[in-house]
Amino acid sequence: MWAIRNSNEEFIGYVGLYQTNEKYVIEDDQDKKFFNDSYGIGYYISLEYRGLGIVSSAVNLVCNEIAFKELHLNYVVGITFVDNERSHNVLERSGFKLVKVLKNAFKKSGEMRDVYWFIKEREVGQIQ
């Protein structure tokens, strides 16, 4: 996990990679194997800094420079609740593509929720 700081070096957010390790309920066996053997990306930024492209830049940097070049991953997944349009935009601006909707895949506040499953693949020829 890496901190995002403003020009005054104040903490304003974070971006991080995590192993999915079967945190999500996925019914399709092929999707389950693919998804659960992967790394996901998570992020947060303070309200006053949203919509400025800061998180998209940080996500892109972590994927390209750390996940693909240093860790030699072939892809990174991104998960957003279906109603979180800002998070969808972060992933899309960072080069992620929507794979599918995962129904009742994540439990939040005692309720099973649908999520969008995004993926960013390492580009062909990108340094391994």
pTM of the model: 0.83
Q: Does 112 fall in a domain?
A: yes
Structure tokens at 79: 């998960």
Q: Does 79 fall in a domain?
A: yes
Q: Does 102 fall in a domain?
A: yes
Q: Cβ neighbours of residue 117 under 8 Å, at least 6 residues apart?
A: 35, 77, 78, 79, 98, 99, 100, 101, 102
Q: Specify the pLDDT at position 34.
A: 63
Nearest CA to 56 out of 124, 64, 126, 82 is that of 64
Q: Specify the pLDDT at position 105.
A: 80
| Count of structural domains within the chain | 1
Q: Does 98 fall in a domain?
A: yes
Transcribe 72-100 into DSSP letters.
--SEEEEEEETT-HHHHHHHHHTT-EEEE
Q: Which residues pair with 103 in a beta bridge?
A: none
> Which residue range(s) make up the domain with 36?
2-121
pLDDT in tens, the chain (128 residues): 999 999 999 999 999 999 876 555 566 666 666 666 689 999 999 999 999 999 999 999 999 999 999 999 999 999 999 999 999 999 999 999 999 898 888 788 899 899 999 999 998 765 55
CATH code for the domain in which residue 29 is found? 3.40.630.30
Q: Does 127 fall in a domain?
A: no
